[in-house]
Structure 1
Amino acid sequence: EAVKYNGTLDAARKIVAAEGVKSLFKGAGANILRGVAGAGVLSIYDQVQLILFGKKFKGGSG
């Protein structure tokens, strides 16, 4: 049986009523982990630049 929603707030109300507030955050852990991993890659990239070039690379358009 498909659930019908009449907008975002209506959907949030029905989901909270049926499954509780915690259900709104399902999958958030994986999303946070992905963000942390991306930040780690950028941090490592910056450190490798420092090691290879000896100074911080300044980006520019030319």
Structure 2
Amino acid sequence: MMMTSGEPVKYKSSLHTFSQILKSEGPIAHFIGAGGANIPCVVAVSCVLAGYDKLQMIVFGKKYGSGAA
């Protein structure tokens, strides 16, 4: 929870916050901070999950899926 430090409440809801930021700063403002460290982490986690699936194929000889036939 953010501290307002004596300021009045600026937003009524999450949707109101989203629309106000979109109006004042543009659509790119919602993605500030999404790059940098997060993109390499997503790539690394994807590689780990894909590697784990491949390891299951090698070790157990079968693939574990979602349960659909």
TM-score (norm 1): 0.56
Q: What is the alpha-carbon root mean square deviation over aligned residues?
A: 2.9
**Distance (whole Å) between structure 1 residues aligned to residue 56 and residue 15 of structure 2:** 47
Q: Work out the CA distance in 2 between the residues paired with 1:13 and 1:57.
A: 44
- Give the structure with the higher percent helix: 1
Q: Equivalent of 2:48, from 32, 41, 54?
A: 41
1:27 aligned onto 2:62: no
Equivalent residue of 2:45, what SS?
helix
Q: Give the gaps of 5 or more residues in structure 1.
A: none
SS of 1:28's equivalent in the other structure is coil
Give the TM-score of the pair, scaled to structure 2: 0.53
* Greater relative CO (CA pairs within 8 A, separation 6+): 1
Q: 5+ residue gaps in structure 2?
A: none
1:51 aligns with 2:58: yes
